[in-house]
A and B are shown apart, each in its own frame.
Chain A
Amino acid sequence: MLKEGKIGLAEAVSITTLLIITKIFYSSTAVVVKKTGTAAWYMTIISFLTSMLLFTLVYILMKRFPGKNIIEIFQIVLGRFIGKSLGLGFSAFILYYSAMSLREFLELLKAYVLPYTPPSLIFASFICVTILLAYLGFEVIARVSYISIYPVLIGLGILLILASTYYKVDNIKPFFGYGLNTTMYNGVMRSSAYAEVMLLAVAMNTLKDTKTFKKAGYISLVFGGAFFSICLLLYVMAFSYTIGSENLSGMFQLSRIIYLSRFVQRVESLFLFIWVISSVVTVSISFYMSMATYCKVFDIPSQKPLVYVFGILLFTLAILPKNLSEVIEIHMIVIRQYSGIWVFGGPIIVLLISLLLRKKGGSIKDEKI
């Protein structure tokens, strides 16, 4: 078994919350506004409700197998071969997620801050820190994310307050965006934006019990939902749907227009800190989770030997997309719009099968007999 240590509720919540809310720094905001216009702020509430529902289903599955992580449950319910391959698929997807987050971060960083630095350098320095975090293990990652969620939230709060001179309530009219159907459709699809909460199911062993799993999941979902809704609302209020959909990174652009006085203006570079910190931690978490899933599939006792190999994989994957358009229009759509089908769908199908076969509790060892 992979030695991961134990984390508390606060750390678990901060891990998933950080994973969920980091998207706000990326192209996500503008894409949502482009798709749903002025309805963006409640579209995300629809996504949030959908993901709550899906998460509840996953929770029911987890409850049937107390103390087991999702990879073990796959193996118990589907048998070793299918279970392991499903687990492997999960691992691959999380690595892909991690790599694309890294790539998107790079694109924005290059666009806004470091236009002439070679991408490989940015990747290399970033991955060095990621590897360090993953090497030190899950407990350390949890602690770092718990510590860093404070500056991230406080910094964003300050940013949103400083930009308040631009908020115009009239900008959220017409209220229904591009029509209710579009909103609903996007809302349901975009529940993938909350799919990060499923990482808790992978890290089930580090949690105290299934109840903590439920609590951590719900708290971070509610928090993420409220957070997104507020951010999108304020964003549309500041930019309106027209130029709101043009920006590469909505929140970063918002920080660039801050003007309070001759001395308090353009605080974007300070904002860069929370952006970098949250991105590093997010990529590290998903990077570690990918390895942890891999370890759990093949019963590897430590993630440490995998770190460098996976680091190189991460680098390779991240450097694959040709250009920004490909990142945003293919990979980000896959991750933020369609990944939910797979991430939530897999476990839910497993739940159905386990209900049909009446499988409950037990362990892999029982299965062997």
Chain B
Amino acid sequence: MQKKSSIHNLFSLISYKEKKEINDFYIPEINEEDKHVQNNSKQSSIKSETTNLSVDADDNNISTIMQANIEYLFKKFNYPVNKDFVMREFLVAGKYKAFIAYIDGMVDRVTINNFILRPLLNFTNLPDMGNDSQLDFLLKNVLETNQAEKVTKPADIVYGILSGNTCLYVDGCSYYLSCETKGFEKRGVETPQTEGLVRGPQEAFNENLRTNVTLIRRLIKDTNLTTEFVKVGKRTNVQCAVVYINGIINPAIVQEVKRRLTGISADLVMGDGMLEQFIEDSSYTVVPTILSTERPDRTASHLLEGRIAIIVDGTPFALIAPVTLHSFMHTPEETFFKWPVGSLIRLIRIFAVFVAALLPALYIGMVGYHTEMIPTDLMIAIISAKENVPFPTVLEVLLMELSFELIREAGVRIPGLIGNTLGIIGALILGQAAVQANIVSPVLIIIVAVTGLGNFAIPNFSVAFAVRIIRFAFIFGAALLGFYGIGLVLVAVIALLSNMKSFGVPFLSITAPKTSTSGDLIFKKPVWKQEKRPDNINPLDVRRQPNISRKWAQEDAESEERKNIDDGRRDEDA
């Protein structure tokens, strides 16, 4: 029996098993849209509210007896062990029992004292009009907070309390009032840390979700800018804002993003980095497929192109999808400069990617396999310098690369701003000493340094990391087979990249498969010539601006024409 199974196992290694057909998500063309919208409406049927009264308080029902609710909340928040939870009982208008509950530190005390407790306690003539309507009355007439709403589900009020709201309950009611009293400590809007610009707005997202959404809304004052909230994570219960512009974005993207977000059934989802991993298309790639940015202006421009932004509460980053490789190579800088400057910056950046990925590999290939292409003088210089170095070139390169990575990693971890400076100084000293000790050849120091520079010039940190990893594949290929090996790895990398998808959009699209560009790929057109949105994400509204977006230019031309005609007439008259 045992033997058979082992044979079976052996065969199963080499035999093919039909894989389950996975339904690939893709963005439908606009004319396919109607069907999707219909499906959509079917799914979102409104659930009828539960209105039955009950005595016991549990996860589904709110009791009409205050004590039961108090006990329910105590149990939920692990009171009294949990000291964060605060509950205060009091009498509304001197006769109705009530309590407020909140979490200390998450709320603004002034608001609670002045605008919830004081009106409720000072208020005297409450008309007698049945429990439910009483609370209604309080909501409408007494409470002075800006946001207060009825909550009929215990889970919602628990979440409200967790996120800094104050819960008000009046005895005999079957629902809570949730008053907005969020007042926790937060960072102000500061300058971007990793995406700094020379020219352009200097503000970045912070950890507060509301602030972040507001920052975007301030840039796009459009009624169609829609924000939806989705809770993610079973225990962390992080609030995610899904921001998009209705009427531009393809609804399928919104639906897919929401489907993926609600489909996460994990304990802990912290921040955008984790969320990205939960919702991205392909996990087994080094290159990210969702763009993470800390700039509101960049987010806004992507929204206007028809993409979606996901902002997670508690992180100063917005996730943008679907994106292509090109988006990772862009920064807002190019848009703020004139187009020739922008194009040049991008060319330099592409060059940087090639340098960062290929330079050490090319050096190995050249020195190990293709010596004929090095100019003779240079070659003899390299050899003379290398004469006393005992290591083979590959080992030298790996040694230097590793120590460079080490310095970089150490530089990040060293506290304070001196970290980076220290790292660079360390690198120089290390390099100089290594050369003098005949451990590496001096040319190699230059190679590694330029490679590092190229890596720093890549605008996106995640892509820079990916390039660092890919570089080692190239080094391996070069050491094994020279330029031939590099060529093979290159083709494989291109193939894997073009196989990737970001929310149904091929990762290299616009280039391959070829779609019409928005005039903003590598070479930028002047801003007024970028008339269309990128076609690869199938936006509902393809046109960004009319063919003639500079009306005044047309007017100039017309007036010139008129003038000419007038002149002509005058000549004729004369």
Residues of A within 8 A of B (CB): 7-8, 10-11, 109, 113-114, 117, 121-122, 125-126, 128-129, 132-133, 136-137, 139-144, 146-148, 262-263, 265-270, 272-273, 275-277, 280-281, 304-305
Contacts and interface: CB of A to CB of B under 8 A. Distances in A.
B512 A266 contact: no
Contacts of A304: 16, 19
Contacts of A126: 488
Interface in B479-538: 480-488, 490-492, 494-496, 498-499, 506, 508, 511-514
B495 A133 contact: yes
Interface size class of B (residues with CB under 8 A): 20 to 34
Given A140-B499, A269-B366, A269-B373, A122 B481 contact: yes
B372 interface: yes
B483 A276 contact: yes
B127 interface: no
Nearest to B486: A273
B36 interface: no
What secondary structure prevails in chain A residues at the interface with B? helix
A340 B85 CA distance: 84
A268 B491 contact: no
Contacts of A269: 365-366, 369-370, 372-373, 483
12 contacts: A8-B514, A11-B514, A113-B369, A125-B481, A129-B491, A129-B495, A132-B492, A139-B513, A142-B512, A143-B508, A147-B508, A148-B491
B369 A114 contact: yes
B100 to A, nearest CB: 60
B512 A262 contact: no
Given A114-B484, A125-B481, A143-B506, A11 B512 contact: yes
Given A125-B485, A136-B495, 12 more contacts: A7-B513, A121-B481, A128-B488, A133-B495, A139-B513, A143-B512, A143-B513, A144-B491, A146-B513, A267-B373, A275-B487, A280-B488
A277 B484 contact: no
Contacts of B130: none
A143 B498 contact: yes
Given A7-B513, A113-B482, A125-B481, A270 B373 contact: yes
Contacts of A8: 513-514
A312 B49 CA distance: 64
A133 B493 CA distance: 10
A266 B370 CA distance: 10
A275 B482 CA distance: 14
B415 interface: no
Contacts of B491: 129, 133, 144, 148, 276-277, 280-281
B483 A272 contact: yes
A269 B499 CA distance: 29
A109 B488 CA distance: 13
B483 A273 contact: yes
A143 B486 CA distance: 20
Contacts of B366: 269
A109 B484 contact: yes
A114 B481 contact: yes
Given A143-B498, A269-B373, A276 B487 contact: yes
B374 to A, nearest CB: 9
B375 A263 contact: yes
Of the candidates B19, B365, B369, B512, the one having the most CB atoms from chain A within 10 angstroms of its own CB is B512
A35 B365 CA distance: 37
Contacts of B490: 273, 277
B482 A132 contact: no
- Please provide the 8 A-B residue pairs with the shortest distance between their CB atoms, ordered closest to farther: A276-B487, A143-B512, A305-B16, A269-B370, A143-B498, A146-B512, A269-B373, A10-B514
Contacts of B495: 129, 132-133, 136, 140-141, 144
A305 B14 CA distance: 10
A126 B487 CA distance: 10
A280 B512 contact: no
A201 B12 CA distance: 36
Contacts of B375: 262-263, 265
B511 A117 contact: no
A225 to B, nearest CB: 23
B494 A147 contact: yes
Contacts of A265: 375
Contacts of B508: 143, 147
Given A144-B491, A144-B494, A276-B488, A117 B481 contact: yes
Contacts of A277: 487, 490-491
A270 B484 CA distance: 10
Contacts of A280: 487-488, 491
Contacts of A122: 481, 484
A125 B488 contact: yes
A283 to B, nearest CB: 10
A251 to B, nearest CB: 16
Nearest to B514: A10
A147 B483 contact: no
A147 B481 contact: no
A276 B373 contact: no
A287 to B, nearest CB: 13
A270 B92 CA distance: 85
A117 B498 CA distance: 31
Nearest to A134: B495
A327 B372 CA distance: 28
Nearest to A137: B499
A273 B372 CA distance: 15
Interface in B354-379: 365-366, 369-370, 372-373, 375
A147 B484 contact: no
A142 B508 CA distance: 12
Interface string B262-287: 00000000000000000000000000
B350 to A, nearest CB: 13
Contact of B373 (A128, A142, A266): A266
A254 to B, nearest CB: 15
Contacts of B482: 113-114
A129 to B, nearest CB: 5
B488 A147 contact: no
A200 to B, nearest CB: 17
